Structure 1
Amino acid sequence: MWRYVLRRLAQAVGVLWAAYTVTFLVLDYLPGDPVTAMAGAQVDSGGVDPALVAKLRHQYGFDQPVLVQYFHYLFRALRGDLGVSVSTGRPVTSVMGDALPPTLALTGLGLAIGIVTGASLALVATYTNRRWLRQGLLSLPSIGVSVPGFWVGLMLVQLFSFRIRLFPAFGNDGLRGLVLPAVTLAVLPAAMIAQILAKSLLTALAEPYAQTAQAKGAGRARVHLRHALRNALLPALTITGVLTGQLMANAVVVETVFSRNGLGRATAAAVNAQDIPVVQGVVVFGAFVFVTVNLLIDLVYPLLDPRITVGSARRGLSRRDAPTDPPAGGGELTACAARPAAGSAA
């Protein structure tokens, strides 16, 4: 167990380092530099004193070679110092600290709405006996995945803000101002969770153990919720971990559409200003959230299916416990869905 946790922590550190390095190189490759962006004019245009720009470049270390800058910022980050924002002069931790709470509230509520909506849609669609209703419900996730998020936000604003006047269109106006952005952010995770969970449930319900449970007198609801759902959860749980990181990226678009203050708008402003310390701090934080959530999901796998060993949670079942039946839902992400957990069909 501890060897597995240490190995996953080492992988997480590698992901954080890679995200930090790629971000630094991409921003350094962009034309111009943060100093001229902050000054508001190019040196050769005559709008800024070249001596002042050279002084600022030396102050922030942008006159040094790329490798020197990279290791300088990297060693400071290892000590918990993410540097100072070039555009505002404030510490990066303070900039992120002010912008983070609204974004966490938005992404948390959006993820919760997405999980509840997607799981409910999948359960109802696979439980109903009415074929037309099942086909109609199963077609909704495809629509949700294909619709652009900014279009959903604009339609919600047009309907619920300008016509019905139920929710505010813009700004950080308490819980009422959080509803429309959270619903907009929840469309994609709800659609993906519903699509994957419904497919896994249909596959699990067709397995022999579900038929055996029904033959022993278990009702449809019991078979659906206790036997099939437990084995079908793993693919949906995996995609939820991936979507957590994607929600942080989608928050940039949603906060822009609804003119909300948060980490997304701070990131967009930092990218436009080529504020390397702020952008790197945001990227490292997003990578940290992503690897942490996925690590927790890896540790939850054995609790849902005892046949999965901790060391093989993402690679599939261990050789000793692997069933001969094909995995439900297909692929590595559903390795444990072929059969129920021990004693679940009894």
Structure 2
Amino acid sequence: MIDALTDTHAGGAEPGGDRNRPMRIGILLFPSFSMMACASAIEPFRAVNRLADQQFYDLHLLSSTGGGISASNGFKLETEALAFAPELDRIFVVASLDIEKICDKTATRFLQRFAITGKPIGALSNGSFVLARAGVLDGYRCTLHWESLGQFSEEFPTIETCREIYVRDRNRWTCAGGIAAIDLMLEQIATDISGTLAAEVAEQFLHSRIRGPQEFQRMETKWRYGVRDERINAAIRLMEQNLELLVEISDIAYQCNLSLRHMERLWHKHFQMTPKQFYVRLRLKEAQRLLKETSEPIAAIALRCGFVSASHLGSVYRRSFGHTPGTERRRVSGG
């Protein structure tokens, strides 16, 4: 197998590449990056080198300053400084929490210079924010973690987004993060070397099915809520898609071919609450996530989740969780 793979190795297939050396891939980390996304990106390439008994890929963990970078789980990875990075064939940005705090001029300049080469630039999880702020996603289609799609679209309304697990738009490769990074990297391996080797790597990770980019990120509603009635699932999807600009419950019922009375009976049967209470709970859960994972002002979070003001969110939040949004945030920050 090794002889056959050597002839098809595309390690130098990028512009200006050198077939006599491994393909160099940079993984550019930002504070509070997703360890899951990072590992999912790195491990398929490590496995290729081991299975083929040949170094097809040479990986470099990078950051602006070098040294230890902490993931969102608190563990640190040692990185090389961008200033000392070797010539790379591809680079992937990995970012997750606290994305609104990222303002890294060194990384921005590096990505802008790298984009001029025409080599692939990718992003995992919320790394698409970094690429967009550097101006290297203009005119490209992208994806990112489903929780951040709304925030991204507000900041970059002219960049087309989707809910697919990954997107390859010419030389921009973006991924929703998590284990979806495995699927993106397996596709690269199949293109660079062979589909057979990509399948062998997938089997090593007990990854029984290599997913294509067209698959959506979130688990189907019927599995998340254990409800098989498609009318209910359609109603839930409408609620989840309209957390900021609210839709009247009667309109949701109409769009799902339900009378309001029948919808309320179904909600009591399956969830022991009214559709309106369920809708509020969805909005509160999103507000709770934003309070824990971002530094957005509470007033902005309130509006993003369909509440008219910070005080409105505060009163509903206290009734539901027994404490205020401010207390929630202080618990996370340790203040």
TM-score above 0.5, yes or no: no
Q: Which one scores higher on RCO, CA 8 angstroms, separation ≥ 6?
A: 1
Structure in which a larger fraction of residues adopt strand: 2
Q: TM-score, normalised by structure 1?
A: 0.25
Normalised by the length of structure 2, the TM-score is 0.25
Specify which structure has the higher proportion of helix: 1
